[in-house]
Chain A
Amino acid sequence: MTTTDDAILIRTTINGDPVTFLSSQRDSLLEALRERLNMTGAKEGCNNGNCGACSVMLDGRLVNSCLVLAAEVEGARVDTIEGMADGETLHPLQQAFLEEAALQCGICTPGFLMSSRALLAENPTPTEEEVRFWLAGNLCRCTGYDKIVRAVLKAAGEMNEAR
């Protein structure tokens, strides 16, 4: 519960839009996104940095939003899964995840997509080993990972062709 004493006003930029919101100083960024801003794309899996389901970008770096305090994003830029598609047009990674059936229950998917996008921004032509190493911080209990790795490699190829 937020008390007056505990409340903090946070000014940030989320998916390119300036956002000002009231949070509790004890809130994680994940809690603030989900419970105060109704942005429920980032998921709570382990809440301790092991599963990657809460992955978002903070000032251009991939982070676990469960391990960031909401108060820490004052003045920062946050990018979430909600900003990944361009209107009705899916990001090539989202499209490839659908085509390759790289998801079953879907809980881990927003985290994998954010993490994969961060990988391709840094390394547009990863090898399979590089994809697996980069995605080691994202856990999936459904797919066995092969479909996810295939989808990332497919999206990378398509994004490179489009360049």
Chain B
Amino acid sequence: MQAVKYARASSVDEAITLLRDGGDTARVLAGGTDVIVQARERRRHIELFVDIKHIPELTSLTHGGDGGLTVGAATPLYRIYGDTEVVRRFPALAEATHVIGGKAIQGRASLGGNLANASPAADSIPAMIVLAGVARVAGPGGTREVPVAEFCSGPGRNVLQPGEFITSIHFPPPAAGSGQAWERFIPRNEMDIAVVNAATYLAFDGDVVTEARFALGAVAATPLSVPAAAAAVVGRRLTDETIAAAAEAARQTATPISDMRGTVRQRKHLVGVLTEHVIRRAVERARA
């Protein structure tokens, strides 16, 4: 490990001060499951870790009176998928967080960390996008909100400015009678990085789709929101034809590369398959 120092913040303001004083080489430490490896392997030059896990609001999980959900940025994943209300009302988020790493990773890793790490294949980000998640950010210039869909700017890069960090991610209440689902393809049974992942959120008036959001991972430089797939179903009933149109729109939006995990052709194919899967599973949930 490089010669990194450790500081524990007990409030957001203290973390802001520590990060400002630490300058460019200071990093927030939440679960550490990505950033400690990056420091050890010298993929990031880090001289100061500011531990934000002892700031109470950073490790909270709150269901609002309006049915919304606020997850502290450093809240470990097991508390998210282990929350019965999250499983019932935000199942796409529960599905994604349940399969990130193994149990020991899930004891530490966080939504804020998965988002800030900005992996194109991050499992939680497509789920957060379709749930209209908004990252609340604190920094030397005050606080601001960034939609999760606009947070990542490239592989491992995000829109955070120097000294800024995510404090929480807020999700508005899902509409009554809506459905949502998240799914990924991996060649192993568990403990793998997605070849493709996909998520959807669908709201209905009777059988007609009134609102739709789609997102994909591991098929572009960042996790992608897919408005073209939403446009293919909004105002329509879901039939084999409209579902196929959404899947085709998702295929057209994806710009994957070939790498050790999959080829362009396989990933394009999987985008169509997974988009259809998540639509059908979201519909089942909406009708349940």
Give chain A's interface residues, CB within 8 Å of chain B. Answer: 6, 8, 25-28, 47-50, 52, 55, 58, 61-64, 66-69, 71-72, 74, 115, 118-119, 132-138
The interface stretch among B12-20, B102-110, B123-131, B200-208 is B102-110
State which of A48, A67, A137 has its C-beta within 8 Å of the C-beta of B191.
Answer: A137
Pairs of residues from A and B, 3 with the lowest C-beta to C-beta distance, nearest first: A137-B102, A136-B190, A61-B107
CA distance A114 to B284 in the complex (A): 38
In the complex, are the beta carbons of A25 and B107 less than 8 A apart?
no
Q: A26-B4, A48-B37, A137-B101 are in contact. List 6 more A-B contacts (CB 8 A).
A: A6-B3, A6-B5, A50-B191, A67-B32, A118-B103, A135-B102
In the complex, are the beta carbons of A55 and B6 less than 8 A apart?
no
Contact status of A27 and B8, CB under 8 A, knowing A63-B108, A69-B36, A136-B189 = no
Q: Which B residues are CB-close (under 8 A) to A133? A: 190
Closest to A68 in B: B32
In the complex, are the beta carbons of B33 and A49 less than 8 A apart?
yes
- Report the tally of A-B residue pairs with Cβ distances under 8 A: 87
In the complex, are the beta carbons of B2 and A52 less than 8 A apart?
no
In the complex, are the beta carbons of B1 and A27 less than 8 A apart?
yes
CA distance A90 to B256 in the complex (A): 52
Q: Which A residues are CB-close (under 8 A) to B41? A: 48
Whether B236 sits at the interface, judged by CB under 8 Å, is: no
In the complex, are the beta carbons of A28 and B1 less than 8 A apart?
yes
- Distance in angstroms from B280 CB to nearest chain A CB is 24
CA distance A69 to B29 in the complex (A): 10
- Distance in angstroms from B104 CB to nearest chain A CB is 5
State which of A47, A68, A74 has its C-beta within 8 Å of the C-beta of B40.
Answer: A47
Whether B171 sits at the interface, judged by CB under 8 Å, is: no
Proximity string of chain B (94-127) to chain A, C-beta cutoff 8 Å, 1 when within and 0 when not = 0000000111110110000000000000000000
Closest to B48 in A: A25
State which of B8, B29, B40, B104 has its C-beta within 8 Å of the C-beta of A63.
Answer: B104
- Distance in angstroms from A79 CB to nearest chain B CB is 13
